[in-house]
Amino acid sequence: MALNHAVAIAMSAGLKEGLQHIDVLGAAGDLDQYYLFHAARADILRRLGRRAEAAQAYTRALALTTNQIERDFLHRRLAEC
């Protein structure tokens, strides 16, 4: 729920503000094994033009998901970085 809220902030109030909220959530480590946390963070980093950091986050998300459709999507996004 908090991750969804942070993404909503990014899409409405601004990417940098949303990323700050996501990074605060990530600091606790509770979401480190949740691929959508890394995928959301990667998407915001990519939109901010921070390609190297986005690539790292996409790579982490890929390591955590086994769903082939999601993996294909993440691979395409990673290739954009």
**Sign (positive/negative) of CA torsion 58, 59, 63, 66?**
positive
Q: Which domains, and CATH codes, for the chain?
A: 2-80 (1.25.40)
Read off the pLDDT of residues 17-64 as tens digits, 9 standing for 90 and up.
999 999 999 999 999 999 999 999 999 999 999 999 999 999 999 999
pLDDT score recorded for residue 29: 92
Q: Indicate the pLDDT class of residue 67, thresholds 50, 70 and 90.
A: very high
Name the pTM for this structure.
0.94
Cα separation, 81 vs 61, whole angstroms: 14
